[in-house]
Structure 1
Amino acid sequence: MNLSTANENFRQLVGHNVTYSIPPFQRDYSWSEENWEELWFDILAMYSGEEDAENEHYMGYLVLQDSDNKKFSSVIDGQQRITTISIIVLAALNHLRILISKGIDPEDNTQRAKVLRESYIGYIDPITLKSRSKLTLNKHNDRFYQTYLAVNSEHIPARNLKASEHMLRKAYAWFGSRVESKFGFEDNSGQKVTGFIDSLVDKLFFTVITVTDELNAFKVFETLNARGVKLSSTDLLKNYLFSVLSSDDPHDSILDDLESSWEYITGLLSSESFPELLRIFWNSKNRLVRKKDLFKTIQKSISSKEEAFELVRDLEVNSEIYANLRDPTSNVWNVKEKEALSQLSMFGVKQPMAMLMSAYRRFYDSERSTFTSILEAISVISFRYNVICSLPPQDQEGLYSSVAIKIENRELSSGQGIIEALRDIYPDDAQFSGAFATKQLKTTNSRNQKVVQYILKRLGEKISMDSIDLTTSRYNIEHVLPQKVKSGWDDFSDVKHSQCVYRLANMVILEKSLNNSIGNKSYPEKKLVLSQSNVSLTKNLAERYDKWTPETIDSRQLFLAKQAKGIWRINSL
């Protein structure tokens, strides 16, 4: 990896005769008062005069991408911090301007302002009166920053601003009021505020990581993120994808169009979901790529603006598919599809997403029933493979991706052929019923509670023709052998209790009104309450079993396992 690292303070950073630019499609300025306050308190702590005060403040990582001439660097990560420090310097410059306007040491303060500006901000062209800044913000923020904060700070507009411009204006005013409060309008205020800034730039340290291309920047990001450093993956992905598109100064209309596509995608998805979309989308059309190799692979595949433009457009379309696949309540789904997607969400199964994305593109509009049958089959496979048999999920992803590519290439063109291609991850009846007969699901977390309710509901529908509406708050899960045993359970040693309490056979769906009175009572007492339930499968347990022992639980779960293999089944496999 071609990179260099160095620890540098802000003075060193801006003193290299290098200008820094935030790429056009990096996120806008977004720091809020909470961030400003935290930084300001850290700064003041260095000047508290206390014996244990820190002599410097660590600002974290600054990831830069160098240009060929070494006089220009793109800020890949750290734009919020470097922008905020510049605003603090600009607030100090504004305070010097106010001192000068009040006639307080005007000659010296004018010279001080000139030195501070040229050292840390840039200079103002004497002819155009425009700032030649050491820092250029992104396309949404730079005009406001250069025009008002860096040059014409006496007349900063407060209306008709973008949200991020409002944040820049507020930051400038917030730090301005802190500088004014700290240094006031005394005869020596100019000297003090200048000395403060000149000292501060030596005390704010970064770990500067300089790379030569976006791929290396992403590798750095991954390494830092793995070590707990909070960086924005969405920002980095954005910079990576648009770097090809924004080279050679394309027309603003092209960049605006591309940005519109990007904003549409990020509007649908969170920053955490975006990298997952990219991986699933890629694996739905190409050979399976692991997360660590994804960006290297994409970089090799994108060699022109046309290809990059096509990728972003394709992502825009597929982001909507992905968002809908993650949302079972979306109105694009019919009843059967909503049910299957709700089950996948409840199971926490994500491995089929690339294949489902391919199947959606291929069948949703032209052969809707085929798509529905594939989705229902995936739900059954996931229940058998992931929920009950607890087989390695990583073994699934490769097969799902290969089937996705075959759908994309029209090598698999029928629903039956696609389902048949998944046979290797469909546990047969013997394996499934064997795993079901011993299955435990610890109901101490909400996901398992929902899964157990779902299983018991489906079993009740098959065995007793029960119709239970779990969307109401009327029911919950009752553990026949209580989770905490007091007395009346002599057949269960501590070991046997831990082995039996979360067995599926030991759990029933029960009305809350009855469950509130049952507590940790003995089985004979519970039996009387269970027999009053309107849930047939629960009532039948009380009628069928006079005693509740480890052997009883084994017997009941074997019975349930036989029923289960007929419920969660793909007849063609």
Structure 2
Amino acid sequence: MSATNFNTKNDTLRKLLGNGLTYRIPRFQRDYSWGEDEWDDLWQDILGTIAVGGEPAHYMGYLVLQSADDRVFDVIDGQQRLTTLSIIVLAALKNLQRLIDEDKDPDRTQQRFNQLRQTYIGYLDPVTLVPRSKLTLNRNNDNYYQTYLVPLAEHLPQRRIRASEHSLRKAFEWFDRHVRDYVKANPSEDVGRIIAQLIESMSDRLFFTVITVTDELNAYKVFETLNARGVRLSATDLLKNYLFSVLHRQREHEHELKNLEDRWENMVGRLGSESLPDFLRMHWNSRNAFVRQSELFKVIRGQVDTREQVFELLRGMDEDVDLYLALTSPEGSQWPPAWRDHASKLRMFSVRQPFPLLMAAKRRLTDPEFEILLRACVMISFRYNVIGGLHTGDQERVYHSVAQRIANGTLTTSASVLDALKSIYPADEAFRAAFADKFIKTTASRNKKIVRYILCALEKQASGQDFEFESASYNLEHILPQNPVAGWETFTDEELDAFVYRLGNMALMETGRNREVGNADYTAKKAAYAVSTFSLTHKVAEENEDWTPSRIEARQRALANIATCVWRVAQLA
């Protein structure tokens, strides 16, 4: 991002609102949504800065603005804070207006009233002599703000208004009361001065890190950068605003804008704001050239710039959203049990690379063929990601390439798709070798769940017994304990670290027996294993007089042979 398209500085509220600058909430930015918790937090922060001995300044966070002329700024992030600060000033003006109406030092109070209004709320245009507000809200909120709040209307409408307009009214009334309470808590003969000093102190001591960009693309890059640093901003809102701006530029009818808004909000409601950019990338990559998350907005901005393209994008997203939700939250889907089981395994593996391929396959292939591919993705993911730990970038490119060939009709059967995936299916020999050396540190709950799954699948292959791997009736047993005591002196410290989390050192154990043996020596544990209902656990006692590094390695090699049969795609073998 070049310096000419990006500027950052720290500014107080006074500097932001001075010098004839104006701020606009983009027409289709989200509505005002703050409530009493946020109002009270901000109010306490303000009081903390103006109290005797209080902090000299209070940091208000990032404010992301977009401007082509450095005089009129679109508020990309920070609208809730700016709107609320404006309401606080209006509440103070309302209190000054009451003093004037009550004829309390009316001349000086009027001067203060006029100065505060001109500085923070609006000014008289020197050319047209038309009053102009410094802040313009979005299309759903601006009429209420300009018609009732800015003029300090005596009666604020409460019926037949939007929920966000109720929030604006309640915010004004809340701060109006708290300004009055502040005045009572700081008695003075010059009440107008107390109110004016409250606003002046607030404007001097609240400061923002202001990031100004010249267009939507640079704004999106700012969002990516700040999110990478842990600052939570909404790329979803930015994407939405861009799509609405396309329609707005082409002067489309209000009903089309409303249709787009309803469909977008429904999608965000189902996905969640944080998940939508990820879904959008998966959707895009299932139909178009490959794009990374950091380049997504740039690509969409370059390829979606007409009303037809906006609605085509929405239609495609509508078509794919159910599948994305079924993959990410399978327990809530209406899929058949076998499909939900496969999706649950992909989620457990934390593997998402196959999603574009699966989206394309669900659109173009039959349900039986889709199920074949869904299962194959689980097998590939287990071999490539869970056990192999291979490079996901290469894998992602293959999945995307195959997704494109499905989307354009080049691959029309599950057999042809599987054949195209051969390069990311580790062959039996490579998989067997990787499994034989694999260790999985089970101090993490996700890893423990994966090891239970692995051992249950191996048990089913070895004995035919089908165990639910999340059952509470048995535990994961480390034969060489994670915290060994007496009886394990044959293992050096280095061997303890190297072997305790090897798959060959782990077994399934009935919950009661697992508690009984605890960290006991191998002789005691062996007796418990000998009566276990788990075939593979029983074999530990049957085949091993003692437990050493070489016995762990031998057992893991045996398990690797079983695993090669369990996680297999016959066509790719």
Question: Same fold, TM exceeding 0.5?
Answer: yes
Are the structure 2 counterparts of residues 554 and 207 from structure 1 closer, same or farther at C-alpha, using a change threshold of 3 Å? closer
1:483 matched to 2:482: yes
- Of 24-33 and 90-99, deviating more is 24-33
TM-score by length of 2: 0.93
Counterpart amino acid of residue 525 in structure 2: K
- Of 100-109 and 309-318, deviating more is 100-109
1:8 matched residue in structure 2: 11
* Corresponding residue SS for 1:478: strand
Alpha-carbon distance in 1 for matches of 2:131, 2:519: 76
Deviations 1:114-167 (A, max 9, x none): 332232112699xxxx98422111223223323332234532345655443343
1:319 matched residue in structure 2: 321
Alpha-carbon distance in 1 for matches of 2:465, 2:36: 56
Alpha-carbon distance in 1 for matches of 2:486, 2:9: 67
1:42 matched residue in structure 2: 45
Task: Give 1:502 deviation, angstroms.
Answer: 0.9
1:535 matched residue in structure 2: 534
- Of 457-466 and 104-113, deviating more is 104-113
2:425 matched residue in structure 1: 426
Are the structure 2 counterparts of residues 568 and 99 from structure 1 closer, same or farther at C-alpha, using a change threshold of 3 Å? same
Kindly indicate whether the alpha-carbon contact (under 8 Å) linking 1:94 and 1:153 is maintained by their aligned counterparts in 2: no
Alpha-carbon distance in 1 for matches of 2:559, 2:506: 12
* Corresponding residue SS for 1:8: strand
The within-5 A match list for 1:231-242 is 231-242=233-244
* Corresponding residue SS for 1:487: coil
TM-score by length of 1: 0.93
Kindly indicate whether the alpha-carbon contact (under 8 Å) linking 2:354 and 2:377 is maintained by their aligned counterparts in 1: yes
1:375 matched to 2:374: yes
1:511 matched to 2:510: yes
Task: Give 1:362 deviation, angstroms.
Answer: 1.3
Identity percentage over the alignment? 48
Task: Give 1:345 deviation, angstroms.
Answer: 0.6
- Of 282-291 and 5-14, deviating more is 5-14
Kindly indicate whether the alpha-carbon contact (under 8 Å) linking 1:25 and 1:239 is maintained by their aligned counterparts in 2: yes
Alpha-carbon distance in 1 for matches of 2:537, 2:161: 63
1:228 matched residue in structure 2: 230
Alpha-carbon distance in 2 for matches of 1:218, 1:503: 44
The within-5 A match list for 1:301-320 is 301-320=303-322
Counterpart amino acid of residue 263 in structure 2: S
Number of matched pairs: 563
- Of 368-377 and 492-501, deviating more is 492-501
The within-5 A match list for 1:66-77 is 66-67=67-68, 72-77=72-77
- Of 166-175 and 387-396, deviating more is 166-175
- Of 266-275 and 371-380, deviating more is 266-275
Counterpart amino acid of residue 140 in structure 1: N
Kindly indicate whether the alpha-carbon contact (under 8 Å) linking 1:91 and 1:175 is maintained by their aligned counterparts in 2: yes
Alpha-carbon distance in 2 for matches of 1:340, 1:439: 23
Are the structure 2 counterparts of residues 54 and 330 from structure 1 closer, same or farther at C-alpha, using a change threshold of 3 Å? closer
Kindly indicate whether the alpha-carbon contact (under 8 Å) linking 1:65 and 1:210 is maintained by their aligned counterparts in 2: yes
Alpha-carbon distance in 2 for matches of 1:476, 1:292: 42
1:396 matched residue in structure 2: 395
Alpha-carbon distance in 2 for matches of 1:72, 1:520: 70
Counterpart amino acid of residue 208 in structure 1: V
Alpha-carbon distance in 1 for matches of 2:164, 2:311: 27
Kindly indicate whether the alpha-carbon contact (under 8 Å) linking 1:329 and 1:338 is maintained by their aligned counterparts in 2: yes
Alpha-carbon distance in 2 for matches of 1:505, 1:511: 18
- Of 354-363 and 468-477, deviating more is 468-477
Task: Give 1:176 deviation, angstroms.
Answer: 2.2
1:558 matched residue in structure 2: 557
* Corresponding residue SS for 1:194: helix
Task: Give 1:449 deviation, angstroms.
Answer: 1.1
- Of 375-384 and 80-89, deviating more is 80-89
Task: Give 1:263 deviation, angstroms.
Answer: 0.6
Task: Give 1:342 deviation, angstroms.
Answer: 1.0
Alpha-carbon distance in 2 for matches of 1:247, 1:72: 18
2:27 matched residue in structure 1: 24
Are the structure 2 counterparts of residues 142 and 131 from structure 1 closer, same or farther at C-alpha, using a change threshold of 3 Å? farther
1:260 matched residue in structure 2: 262
Kindly indicate whether the alpha-carbon contact (under 8 Å) linking 2:33 and 2:80 is maintained by their aligned counterparts in 1: yes
Alpha-carbon distance in 2 for matches of 1:471, 1:164: 45
* Corresponding residue SS for 2:249: coil
Alpha-carbon distance in 1 for matches of 2:78, 2:333: 40
Counterpart amino acid of residue 43 in structure 2: W
1:87 matched residue in structure 2: 87
Deviations 1:487-518 (A, max 9, x none): 11132111111111111121111121221211
- Of 40-49 and 249-258, deviating more is 40-49
Alpha-carbon distance in 2 for matches of 1:447, 1:6: 43
Counterpart amino acid of residue 307 in structure 2: K
* Corresponding residue SS for 1:329: helix
Deviations 1:39-71 (A, max 9, x none): 323322332232xx444333333222225x665
* Corresponding residue SS for 1:173: helix
* Corresponding residue SS for 1:546: coil
- Of 529-538 and 394-403, deviating more is 529-538
1:189 matched residue in structure 2: 191
Alpha-carbon distance in 2 for matches of 1:131, 1:108: 22
Counterpart amino acid of residue 74 in structure 1: D
Task: Give 1:448 deviation, angstroms.
Answer: 0.9
Counterpart amino acid of residue 249 in structure 2: S
* Corresponding residue SS for 2:508: strand
Task: Give 1:295 deviation, angstroms.
Answer: 1.6
Are the structure 2 counterparts of residues 7 and 385 from structure 1 closer, same or farther at C-alpha, using a change threshold of 3 Å? same
Alpha-carbon distance in 2 for matches of 1:491, 1:246: 76
1:335 matched residue in structure 2: 337
Structure 1 unaligned runs (5+)?
none
- Of 338-347 and 189-198, deviating more is 189-198
Alpha-carbon distance in 1 for matches of 2:470, 2:15: 62
> Over the residues paired in the alignment, what is the CA RMSD in angstroms?
2.3
Are the structure 2 counterparts of residues 297 and 331 from structure 1 closer, same or farther at C-alpha, using a change threshold of 3 Å? closer
Alpha-carbon distance in 2 for matches of 1:507, 1:164: 56
After the TM superposition, which parts of structure 1 deviate over 6 Å for at least 4 consecutive aligned residues? none
2:206 matched residue in structure 1: 204
Task: Give 1:298 deviation, angstroms.
Answer: 1.6
Deviations 1:3-45 (A, max 9, x none): 3444433233223334321112212223343433333233223
